[in-house]
């Protein structure tokens, strides 16, 4: 039996990448609205009601509107926007953290934000294991490819090739903070420094830890082993071991799409400082790849996409 699937926002950055990942997947029967209809409310309502599963690749307000349009349909929804990430009645679509069975049975799934995907994979397992304190004032430094800002930021970076680095979120209060705090179980929100580089895709999320200032600092190796255990039941996230740590981590300006995520734990010799680092594709595990992973789990199919590590 095929699953009828509607991607609301299929012409956008995330929507297009989802469509590409679905090519050749005969398990899914895609409902497609043409250019004249893709923003037409009645056509979207019909498509949302005709689908078994809808994936929302829309700005937040339009995603909320789509959920209203789907009311009464029983259609299962995966929302890629940040509209429902900490909302009641929604399951956070991070299988490795939340549990695959919850996702398999959920009606409403909110896909994690790209930066929180890296942050949570690094910090949540260590907080859960009691190695890092929920009360610690965490900081997060991150760089993203410009596709993270959707069509508008892609146009800007492609038109203005003089931008070498863009720090933003300078008013603090970035929209990803609530989900970072909630799913890592932290007492307060981390201080978050996001930035954009002139690369189409790719992301590095870096959590520095002043272990020497902690009352009961964890060992570097123990943190690495805990993250490796956290990753061991899936095929999407890998932890790099202590041997031959790289002298540098690179992002390519024109990297191919991929749906994996790598986790690294770097530490100094006396164990007083560490950096937890995640490298991923903001459009892969950070968005479209994660949506497909959730879709596969919801349909009882193998969870990885063809673009894994
Ligand atoms: N890009 C990324 O790396 C990530 C994105 N996301 C989230 O995914 C969602 C989509 O982002 P992204 O694909 O980057 O954004 P884009 O701006 O590239 O695409 C959004 C799409 O939604 C369409 N759209 C806007 N309003 C409506 C509406 N009322 N009805 C139907 N279609 C509409 C837009 O059409 P038009 O252009 O004609 O207005 C566009 O095609 C956002 O919520 C974003 O925050 C999540 C994780 C990562
Ligand atoms: C580079 C860039 O602008 N990135 C986006 C986040 C992309 C993402 O994860 O999308 P959500 O809006 O669905 O959370 C930002 O900081 O707002």
For residue 82, the CA-to-ligand 2 centroid distance in Å is 8
For residue 150, the CA-to-ligand 1 centroid distance in Å is 6
Q: Which of 86, 129, 128 is nearest to 110 (CA)?
A: 86
pLDDT by 10s per residue, the chain, length 309: 899 999 999 999 999 999 999 998 999 999 999 999 999 999 999 999 999 999 999 999 999 999 999 999 999 999 999 999 999 999 999 999 999 999 999 999 999 999 999 999 999 999 999 999 999 999 999 999 999 999 999 999 999 999 999 999 999 999 999 999 999 999 999 999 999 999 999 999 999 999 999 999 999 999 999 999 998 877 788 888 877 778 899 999 999 999 999 999 999 999 999 999 999 999 999 999 999 999 999 999 998 876 765
Q: Model pTM greater than 0.95?
A: yes
Identify which of 56, 57, 202 to mutate to test ligand 1's pocket (most ligand atoms within 8 A of the CB): 57
> Any residues with Cβ below 6 Å from ligand 2, and which?
81-82, 113-114, 144, 148-149, 153, 176, 194, 196
Do 3-112+287-298 and 114-282 agree at the fold level? no
Per DSSP, the three-state class of 255 is: coil
Q: Which of 257, 264, 149 is nearest to 205 (CA)?
A: 264
The closest residue, in CA terms, to atom 17 on ligand 2 is 149
Euclidean distance between the first and the last CA atom of the chain, given in angstroms as a whole number: 29
For domain 114-282, give its CATH number from 3.40.50.460, 1.10.3720.10, 3.30.360.10, 3.30.70.260.
Answer: 3.30.360.10
ipTM above 0.90, yes or no: yes
Ligand 1 within 6 A of CB of 39:
yes
Domain residue spans of the chain: 3-112+287-298, 114-282
DSSP string, 107-162: SEEEPPPHHHHHHHHHHHHHHHTTSS-TTS--EEEEEEEGGGGHHHHHHHHHH-TT
Identify which of 84, 287, 293, 294 to mutate to test ligand 1's pocket (most ligand atoms within 8 A of the CB): 287
**Is 231 known to be catalytic?**
no
Q: Which of 40, 55, 58 is nearest to 296 (CA)?
A: 55
C-beta of residue 122 within 8 angstroms of C-beta of residue 207: yes
For residue 262, the CA-to-ligand 1 centroid distance in Å is 26
Please tell us whether the domain made up of 3-112+287-298 is placed in CATH 3.40.50.720: yes
116 Cα nearest atom in ligand 2: 9
């Amino acid at each position: 039996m095929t699953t009828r699937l509607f991607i609301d926002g299929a012409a956008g950055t995330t929507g297009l990448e989802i469509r590409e990942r679905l090519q050749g997947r005969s398990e899914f029967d895609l409902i497609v609205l043409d250019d004249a209809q893709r923003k037409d409310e009645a056509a979207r309502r019909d498509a949302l009601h005709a689908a078994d599963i809808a994936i929302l690749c829309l700005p937040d307000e339009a995603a909320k509107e789509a959920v209203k349009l789907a009311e009464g349909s029983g259609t299962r929804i995966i929302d890629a926007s940040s509209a429902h990430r900490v909302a009641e009645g929604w399951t956070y679509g991070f299988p490795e953290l939340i549990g695959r069975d919850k996702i398999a049975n959920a009606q409403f799934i909110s896909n994690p934000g790209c930066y929180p995907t890296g942050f949570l994979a690094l910090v949540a397992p260590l907080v859960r294991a009691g190695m890092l304190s929920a009360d610690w004032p965490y900081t997060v430094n991150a760089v993203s490819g410009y596709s993270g800002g959707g069509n508008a930021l892609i146009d800007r970076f492609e038109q203005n090739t003089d931008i070498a680095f863009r720090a933003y979120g300078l008013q603090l209060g970035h929209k990803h903070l609530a989900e970072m705090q909630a799913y890592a179980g932290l007492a307060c929100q981390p201080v978050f420094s996001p930035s954009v580089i002139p690369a189409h895709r790719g992301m590095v999320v870096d959590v520095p830890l002043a272990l020497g200032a902690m009352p009961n600092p964890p060992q570097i190796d123990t943190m690495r082993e805990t993250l490796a255990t956290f990753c061991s039941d899936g095929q999407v996230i890998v932890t790099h071991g202590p041997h031959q740590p790289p002298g540098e981590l690179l992002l390519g300006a024109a990297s191919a799409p991929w749906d994996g995520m790598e986790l690294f734990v770097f530490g100094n010799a006396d164990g007083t400082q560490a950096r937890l680092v995640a490298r991923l594709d903001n459009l892969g595990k950070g968005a479209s790849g994660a949506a497909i992973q959730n879709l596969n789990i919801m349909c009882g199919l193998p969870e990885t996409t063809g673009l894994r590590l």
